[in-house]
Structure 1
Amino acid sequence: MTTSNRFDAAVKKLYAAFHNNTLNPEDCKQCAVGNILDNKDSWRHMTEIHGSTRLNYVGFVHLNLGRRFGGYSPQELLEIEASFLRGCGYHLGKHFCHKPEHYKDSVILFNGLCEVISKLCQLDNMDDVMDCSKLFDFDRGHKEVLTNSF
């Protein structure tokens, strides 16, 4: 499978952050996007609410100027962060972001990373590398109800 440079770089940084215990959804420098952007938090000024996918004025300016950060547009960065937070169990709303109690647990962080990798694949129009249904020849879209005929 061919991947983009931005995908490869993002996954390497996220892998390192996870294994170095420097992944923290409550720190804009150590969250998914913070790690992708070399532990910088300037991206947080592109929205008003943590976890929102709505760009604010600053975000729209960067978007309209065609700026990219780590290879990603401002809108893509917000979508990546929102996927990470949802994967970590956060409840995201239009005007709020509610964090779970154990947001730094390694299992929760791993779930967040899985969501981010899936989002990165989607943004690059590639098959989801986290989807193992093909290995088992299983179609997630088809739900079959088995009935007991005994």
Structure 2
Amino acid sequence: MKTSFRLESAIKKLYTAYHSNQLFPECCKQCAVGNILDKTDGWKHLSDYHGTLQLNYIGRVHQNLGRKFNGYSPLELLQIEAVFLTACGYQLPLNHKNNKPKNPKDNDVLFDGLCAVISYLCKLDDLNNVMEYTKLFEVEHNKPKHELQV
């Protein structure tokens, strides 16, 4: 499957972050978007609250100017982060009053967030979910219905 540069780059960064224990939802540099943006936190100035889908003035200016950050618009970045936090079990926006997972560093929690983000990134690029594997196990007449493509 042919993927875009931004998708390929984002998946590599998220994969590396997950396997090197550098993926943490509550840190703007180690969350999904922080990792996609090379472990920087400048993106947090695009909104007033971590996990919100509302761009603030600065975010709207960048959005209206058509700015992209590693290939993603400000609104796309906020959506990616919201998908990640929600899949990890957070109630949005992120703050001390809202619900959050008991152990946000748990590998299962982070894996759920990672899968949701990758699925969403594929959707943004109008591609099939690269994490979808269930079709590989479909059979028809005792033979695999689909071939594994490498």
1:92 shift after superposition: 2.0
Q: Which residue number in structure 1 is paired with residue 144 of structure 2?
A: none
| Residues 49 and 97 in structure 1, CA contact (< 8 A), matched pair in contact too | no
Report 1:134-145 matches (<5 A).
134-137=135-138
Instruction: Please give the alpha-carbon distance, in whole angstroms, between the structure 2 residues aligned to 1:111 and 1:42.
Output: 25
1:54 shift after superposition: 1.2
Q: Which residue number in structure 2 is paired with residue 147 of structure 1?
A: none
Q: Which residue number in structure 2 is paired with residue 113 of structure 1?
A: 114
Report 1:48-127 matches (<5 A).
48-92=48-92, 98-127=99-128
1:75 shift after superposition: 0.5
TM-score after normalising by structure 1:
0.86
* Aligned length in residues: 138
Instruction: Please give the alpha-carbon distance, in whole angstroms, between the structure 1 residues aligned to 2:27 and 2:84.
Output: 13
1:97 shift after superposition: 5.0
Instruction: Please give the alpha-carbon distance, in whole angstroms, between the structure 1 residues aligned to 2:88 and 2:79.
Output: 14
Q: Which residue number in structure 2 is paired with residue 16 of structure 1?
A: 16
RMSD over equivalenced CA pairs, Å: 1.9
Q: Which runs of 5+ in 1 are unaligned?
A: 139-150
1:47 shift after superposition: 1.0
Residues 19-69 of structure 1, C-alpha deviations (whole Å, 9 max, x = no match): 110111010000000000011101011111211111111110000111100
Residues 65-100 of structure 1, C-alpha deviations (whole Å, 9 max, x = no match): 111001000000001101111111112259975322
- Identical positions, percent: 57
| Residues 121 and 129 in structure 1, CA contact (< 8 A), matched pair in contact too | yes
Change (3 A) 1:15 1:60: same
Instruction: Please give the alpha-carbon distance, in whole angstroms, between the structure 1 residues aligned to 2:98 and 2:8.
Output: 29
Change (3 A) 1:5 1:89: same
Q: Which runs of 5+ in 2 are unaligned?
A: 140-150
| Residues 47 and 55 in structure 1, CA contact (< 8 A), matched pair in contact too | yes
TM-score after normalising by structure 2:
0.86
Residues 103-144 of structure 1, C-alpha deviations (whole Å, 9 max, x = no match): 110110011000000010010000111223322449xxxxxx
